[in-house]
Amino acid sequence: MVGFLGLNLEQTSRPWDDQTMHMLRLIASIFTNLHIRMQAEESLRRSEAQYRALVQTLPDSISTMDMNGCYNYVSEQTLRLYGYDSPEEMLGTFAALGVAETDRERMQQDLQNLREEHPVVTFTGTMQRKDGSLFSGQAHIARLTDSEGKPTGYIVSVRDISESYRAQMELSGLNEELRRTVLELESRNNDANLLNELGDLLQGCLNVSEVYDVVSSTVPRIFPGMAGGLYMSNASRRYVESTLQWNTPLHSELVFEPDRCWALRRGRAHLSEPEHNSLSCRHIVEDSRIIALCTPLVAQGETQGLFYLEGSPDMEGLQRTQQLATMVSERVALALANLRLSESLQAQSIRDPLTGLYNRYYIEATLQRDLHRAVRKKSPIGLVMLHLDLQALPAAKKDHWIQTLAGYLQSNVRTSDIICRYSADEFLIILPDAPLTDCVRRAESLHKGFSSLRRHYKDMDFNSIQVGFGLAAYPEHGDRINDLIEKVRIAANQAVQEPEDPYHIAPQTAAS
């Protein structure tokens, strides 16, 4: 009930008939509908006012479009966002004009999807203001329908996301930079691990051959996809020669003079880039489409050779490669220098400096080893001692004679025999697997050769030299090193004192 319809009965004497009552009801119904309509219109006005107030307070741009995509309502935020002064400038224009030309086709496709499939779509792209300036925006577009569900237009909410997009891009850039940093750190950590592994393995090498094995197994992992090799200087340093290669073929000569390489001439790494008209080393094959890096192997102030790498012209990380090549070459050069020094010191400790033969310390250790082997295999070992009497020889000629005799002995023994200068005037020969009878024959052969040597050097007073041969063998003369050497020395000393009998066999032990 919305109210009452009242009539004054005192104003008429006519009775109320049915027709009159029907008319009254009709009038009451008209007034009721009119009142309801007025209330609905008022409610609609209030709702529209609330809607507009709500729209105006929202930070986003709100607008509506007809089915053709033309604006039929724009909010104040829409005007400010797109740079217009009044709604009339926008009403009736195509909303697509507010999208940058590069993104319009994509927006039209989203509207088509909205018509056919989805009730709401979200479009993110570049928007365009009235003055042509651009900004990043995000639009939510919803379909409007009538009471029967038929589409009548669209409502659009647009937000300027330039700041958040810029922040997102900056964050994305930071993430990418962080990713690159992490990858670089991982790469450096891997390089450090490989360099440490290389250094540890090189320190454990006992000879140059092992150094080459370590380099060939480790260095290709430090420089994946690159070919390379080691070049070592010869004894005269007149040329360098390839001693190791990996990932062949190489575009470098295998043997060349040092002055054909800029790295060896300058004493520092040199990069050859033929395609960039850089100064290339002459040992690199002409017309080679490669980048070549030559790094000298320098340790303790001495250049020992060359560390060589080559790769494709478009290879990445060239600076890293140069740094790693320097570090690898330093480790390899130091390992080679230490080995050569160790070999030199070892040679000095076991070699006689005048003759180059082994000294008594080495021979005693070797005899101990051979004696154990002979006992285990039940095989003989022969010993021949040469005792020289050089008293009659001029002092100026003694060293030359000793060197001559050492060279003669080295040329007239078996490969398996071991010669040493046991003392100033004694030479000891160990004959593995040789019985005492073989020692006798060997002493006789050497004595005959010694006589020929005297005749050849007759102008050097060698005729005044006396040589005695002492002979002993295992097991006849015992199984202890000191006993065997002592007996063969005594026999040689007796032989040199009796020139008519230059061969003396040591007396056998009682057990023999």
d(CA 149, CA 159) in angstroms, rounded, equals 28
**Minimum mean pLDDT range among 43-52, 256-265, 329-338:** 43-52
* Better pLDDT: 463 or 292: 292
Supply the pLDDT for residue 512: 44
* The pTM of the whole model exceeds 0.75: no
User: Are 201 and 218 spatial neighbours (Cβ–Cβ below 8 Å)?
Assistant: yes
d(CA 37, CA 469) in angstroms, rounded, equals 147
Minimal CA–CA distance to 246: which of 328, 166, 342? 328
Token pair listed for 175: 């993430």
pLDDT over 60 at 475, yes or no: yes
pLDDT in tens, 319-354: 889 999 999 999 999 999 888 888 777 767 788 888
d(CA 307, CA 162) in angstroms, rounded, equals 54
Side-chain-side CA neighbours of 473 within 13 Å: the count stands at: 20
pLDDT over 90 at 182, yes or no: no
How high does pLDDT run on average in the chain? 84
* Better pLDDT: 30 or 355: 355
Supply the pLDDT for residue 213: 93
pLDDT in tens, 392-408: 677 777 888 888 888 88
d(CA 480, CA 489) in angstroms, rounded, equals 14
Exposure string (b/e) for 237-268, b if CB count within 10 Å is 16 or more?
Answer: eeebebbbbbbeebbbbeebebebbbbbeeee
d(CA 202, CA 210) in angstroms, rounded, equals 8
Supply the pLDDT for residue 331: 92
DSSP 8-state code for residue 422: E
Residue found under tokens 């607008």: 63
User: Are 63 and 96 spatial neighbours (Cβ–Cβ below 8 Å)?
Assistant: no
DSSP string, 456-506: HTGGGTGGG-EEEEEEEEETTT-S-HHHHHHHHHHHHHHHHH-TT--EEEP
pLDDT in tens, 423-451: 888 999 999 999 999 999 998 888 888 87
Supply the pLDDT for residue 47: 66
Minimal CA–CA distance to 95: which of 124, 73, 119? 73
Task: Give me the sheet containing 151-160, strands edge to edge.
Answer: 71-74, 61-66, 151-160, 134-145, 120-128
pLDDT over 90 at 307, yes or no: yes
**Quick one: average pLDDT of 358-384?**
88
pLDDT in tens, 48-96: 666 666 556 667 888 888 888 899 988 888 888 899 999 899 999 988 8
Residue found under tokens 């440490």: 196
